[in-house]
């Protein structure tokens, strides 16, 4: 496509083999993509038959070499004619897939330090050619994952890599020019792409492979496969030149051949590694525990740790797993890990400095093996003290005594064995300390926010109604909303008959859905953006919990969005100064009165709303959480 200022210029050098070029261009035109691009084909002095065939094609700009310059010089010449912000070097024997270019550009956006990004290359038969490359200390290189299944977890997360194959790479044009283009010493071809990766790093940038960008490569069609003849012979010669140029870098930054592939594949040999174990991939817009875990995973990546996420159910959630993979987190899932997870732990857990365990029923399965097979520091994140929550729940509904006893036993065993015990409230930390674990117990925020991210909410006169948010798989939420409708809502309606309420959440049962009416809106599994709009446009937020433990995510969200809150002592638990910006009562009559007061008094509403964000930041800022984690993971 001919564009004045495209996002990218796709440069395709070609020497004969016009049939493959046709397939390549056809795939470029047919693949779905949001990014704009132009195609620039440079013909490296093909034979007359190929030139004639090339002249009959359209949809690209064409440059011609009148003598054979080879791959390297052809690419360099074409790069000077590129109009795009980015340059993509694409072999003529490739076929791109949907969104291949979007994903490459998006990686640059997500990782500002990215300088060079490559696609995952697969063979026409569906097997993997490479997902990034490893360069060993002797200069030899591996195509990581060659001839493996490209759908395996290790080939599907964005990662730093030693180099990416020049068959499909993207770089900003200005950076390519600063790098001095491809180094002419490698002419006509081979090792110029590896050398470029090293030059990019020498300029303070990083090299990534983006597995979501998939390109089919008919390897060998461009230059053959025999290392002793034709252009492939330069692959051996240029290795010596490469080693001479980068001798010091190879010695200091690269591992001996075939050693420690787990760290070599993503250049994590100089990073500390953390293994995170939880029940499933966090569904961060459906429940508070998942949102909390997702926030912590983001922060661990931001701290520069190499993060592996171990799912106890081994399910690759097609909606949520890619979020983690795009953060650069390897997520272990699938039949192989389901059947071999204990073997994997036995063989690999010793390579992790830290293990972050979540939830008692999950953590108890693995802590003994982790302690036996590694010296990793273990951080147990309890979310709340589960057996205390179950004891409170038993006041209102039937809870098996055996379940409470089993949960208490699990939690105490984890308190004994883990190195650190992370809990969201001071009350929980004090309770654990009273049981003899004071030196291990650490108070951490369940959610945390950027002080510069204060949302702009609707004023009193433009906002309307009551909001309840919750995951109904969590028993306190179902009990709380039933209590609200049975004893509180009728009292509010005697004074405000037209007051509306929105129930937003996940796993909403039919008994709650059946309440839908003119004044009751049921919104199931809404997106984060939709939830944000609900918070910012609702007049008040209610958290009518009659039991529970730990800090409640929905309360923190309400503070963040400056939506005045009416809650109980259980909803307010663990949040310092919450009484300064929330109405707190365990009485149904008082709860109704306080809702009415906030719905009608602009003065009180405004005072509560304005105080909320600042009360939140006293404890729940990203900076404060980062300071705590740095003391534990250092």
Q: Residue 566 sits in a domain of what CATH number?
A: 3.40.50.2000
| 411 and 281 within one domain | yes
Provide the domain limits for residue 82: 8-264
pLDDT value at residue 226: 52
Domain boundary among 443, 469, 490: 443
The verdict on residue 450 lying in a domain is: no
pLDDT digits (tens, 9 = 90+) for 406-418: 999 999 999 999 9
Residues 6 or more apart whose CB falls under 8 angstroms from that of 262 comprise 268, 348, 351
pLDDT digits (tens, 9 = 90+) for 487-523: 999 999 999 999 999 999 999 999 999 999 999 999 9
How many whole angstroms from its chain centre is CA 464?
Answer: 34
The verdict on residue 400 lying in a domain is: yes
pLDDT digits (tens, 9 = 90+) for 535-564: 999 999 999 999 988 899 999 999 999 999
For residue 225, pLDDT over 90 is answered with: no
Can you tell me whether residue 217 is helix, strand or coil? strand
pLDDT digits (tens, 9 = 90+) for 149-204: 999 999 999 999 999 999 999 999 999 999 999 999 999 888 999 999 999 999 99
Provide the β-strand partners of residue 505: 470, 524
Distance in angstroms (rounded) separating the CA atoms of residues 40 and 626: 47
Q: Quickly tell me which residue has 């890990």 as its tokens.
A: 337
pLDDT value at residue 128: 97
Pull the structure tokens for residue 265. 């594949």
Can you tell me whether residue 206 is helix, strand or coil? strand
For residue 4, pLDDT over 80 is answered with: no
The verdict on residue 24 lying in a domain is: yes
The verdict on residue 633 lying in a domain is: no
Beginning with the edge strand found earlier in the chain, give each strand of the sheet holding 354-358 in spatial order.
Answer: 330-332, 306-311, 273-278, 354-358, 377-381, 420-423, 441-443
| 228 and 86 within one domain | yes
Distance in angstroms (rounded) separating the CA atoms of residues 252 and 632: 29
The candidate with the shortest Cα–Cα distance to 393, out of 277, 297, 513, 479, is 479
Pull the structure tokens for residue 485. 């409708």
The stretch 249-276 carries a mean pLDDT of 94
The verdict on residue 593 lying in a domain is: yes
| 231 and 289 within one domain | no
Distance in angstroms (rounded) separating the CA atoms of residues 34 and 313: 35
The stretch 259-272 carries a mean pLDDT of 92
| 579 and 485 within one domain | yes
The stretch 70-78 carries a mean pLDDT of 95
| 110 and 253 within one domain | yes
pLDDT value at residue 2: 47
pLDDT digits (tens, 9 = 90+) for 427-485: 999 999 999 999 999 999 999 999 999 999 999 999 999 999 999 999 999 999 999 99
| 181 and 146 within one domain | yes
Q: How many domains does the chain have?
A: 3
Grade residue 50 by pLDDT with cuts at 50, 70 and 90: confident
Q: How many CB atoms lie within 10 A of CB 576?
A: 13
CB 288 within 8 A of CB 554: yes
| 162 and 311 within one domain | no
CB 171 within 8 A of CB 199: no
Distance in angstroms (rounded) separating the CA atoms of residues 551 and 553: 6
Domain boundary among 229, 264, 299: 264
Distance in angstroms (rounded) separating the CA atoms of residues 39 and 54: 14
| 298 and 191 within one domain | no
The verdict on residue 448 lying in a domain is: no
pLDDT value at residue 168: 98
Cis peptide leading into residue 105 (ω within 30°): no
Q: Quickly tell me which residue has 């590129």 as its tokens.
A: 82
Q: How many CB atoms lie within 10 A of CB 19?
A: 13
Distance (Å) of CA 515 to CA 134, 474, 482, 521: 59, 19, 11, 8
| 55 and 154 within one domain | yes
**CATH number, position 85:** 3.90.550.10
Classify strands 501-506 and 206-217 as parallel, antiparallel or unpaired. unpaired
| 333 and 287 within one domain | yes
The verdict on residue 624 lying in a domain is: no
The stretch 79-85 carries a mean pLDDT of 97
| 411 and 344 within one domain | yes
Radius of gyration of the CA atoms of the chain, in A: 29
| 607 and 485 within one domain | yes
The verdict on residue 20 lying in a domain is: yes
The candidate with the shortest Cα–Cα distance to 198, out of 234, 163, 244, is 163
Q: How many CB atoms lie within 10 A of CB 554?
A: 26
Classify strands 354-358 and 377-381 as parallel, antiparallel or unpaired. parallel
């Amino acid at each position: 496509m001919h564009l004045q200022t495209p996002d990218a210029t796709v440069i395709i050098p070609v020497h004969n083999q016009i049939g493959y070029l046709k397939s390549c261009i056809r795939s470029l035109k047919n693949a779905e993509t949001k990014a704009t691009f132009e195609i620039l084909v440079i013909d490296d002095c093909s034979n007359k038959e190929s030139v004639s065939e090339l002249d009959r094609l359209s949809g690209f700009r064409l440059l011609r070499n009148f003598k054979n310059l080879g791959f390297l010089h052809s690419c360099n010449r074409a790069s000077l004619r590129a109009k795009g912000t980015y340059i993509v070097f694409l072999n003529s024997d490739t076929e791109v897939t949907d969104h291949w270019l979007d994903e490459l550009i998006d990686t640059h956006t997500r990782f500002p330090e990215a300088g060079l990004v490559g696609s995952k290359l697969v063979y026409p038969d569906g097997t993997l050619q490479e997902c990034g490359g490893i360069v060993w200390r002797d200069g030899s290189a591996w195509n990581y994952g060659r001839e493996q299944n490209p759908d395996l977890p290790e080939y599907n997360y964005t990662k730093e890599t030693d180099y990416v194959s020049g068959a499909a790479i993207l770089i900003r044009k200005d950076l390519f020019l600063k790098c001095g283009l491809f180094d002419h010493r490698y002419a006509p071809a081979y090792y110029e792409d590896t050398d470029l990766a090293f030059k990019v790093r020498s300029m303070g940038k990083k090299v990534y492979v983006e597995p979501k960008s998939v390109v089919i490569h008919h390897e060998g069609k461009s230059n053959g496969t025999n290392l002793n003849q034709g252009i492939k012979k330069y692959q051996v010669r240029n290795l010596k030149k490469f080693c001479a140029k980068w001798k010091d870098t190879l010695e200091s930054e690269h591992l001996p051949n075939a050693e420690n592939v787990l760290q070599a594949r993503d250049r994590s040999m100089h990073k500390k590694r953390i293994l995170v174990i939880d029940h499933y991939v966090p569904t961060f817009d459906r429940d508070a525990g998942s949102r909390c875990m997702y926030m912590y995973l983001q922060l661990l990546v931001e701290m520069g740790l190499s993060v592996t996420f171990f799912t106890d159910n081994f399910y690759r959630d097609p909606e949520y797993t890619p979020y983690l993979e795009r953060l650069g987190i390897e997520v272990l899932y699938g039949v192989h890990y389901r059947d071999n997870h204990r073997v994997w732990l036995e063989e690999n857990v010793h390579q992790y400095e830290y293990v972050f365990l979540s939830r008692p029923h999950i953590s108890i399965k693995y802590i003994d093996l982790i302690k036996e097979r590694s010296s990793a520091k273990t951080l147990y994140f309890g979310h709340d003290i589960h057996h205390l929550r179950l004891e409170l729940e038993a006041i209102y509904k039937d809870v098996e005594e055996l379940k409470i006893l089993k949960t208490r036993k699990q939690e105490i065993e984890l308190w004994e064995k883990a190195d650190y015990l992370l809990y969201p409230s001071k009350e929980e930390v004090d309770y654990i300390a009273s049981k003899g674990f004071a030196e291990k117990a650490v108070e951490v925020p369940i959610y945390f926010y950027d002080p510069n991210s204060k949302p702009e909410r609707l004023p009193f006169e433009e906002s309307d109604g009551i909001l309840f948010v919750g995951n109904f798989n969590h028993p306190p939420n179902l009990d709380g909303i039933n209590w609200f409708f049975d004893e509180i809502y009728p009292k509010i309606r005697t004074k405000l008959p037209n007051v509306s309420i929105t129930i937003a959440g996940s796993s909403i049962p039919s008994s709650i859905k059946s309440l839908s009416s003119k004044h009751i809106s049921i919104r199931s599994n809404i997106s984060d953006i939709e939830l944000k709009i609900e918070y910012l446009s609702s007049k008040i937020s209610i958290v009518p919990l009659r039991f529970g433990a730990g800090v409640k995510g929905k309360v923190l969200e309400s503070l963040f969005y400056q939506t005045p809150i009416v809650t109980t002592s259980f909803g307010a638990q663990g949040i310092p100064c919450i009484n300064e910006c929330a109405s707190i009562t365990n009485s149904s009559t008082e709860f109704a009165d306080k809702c009415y007061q906030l719905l009608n008094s602009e003065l009180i509403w405004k005072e509560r709303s304005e105080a909320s964000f600042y009360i939140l930041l006293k404890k729940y800022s990203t900076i404060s959480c980062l300071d705590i984690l740095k003391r534990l993971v250092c």
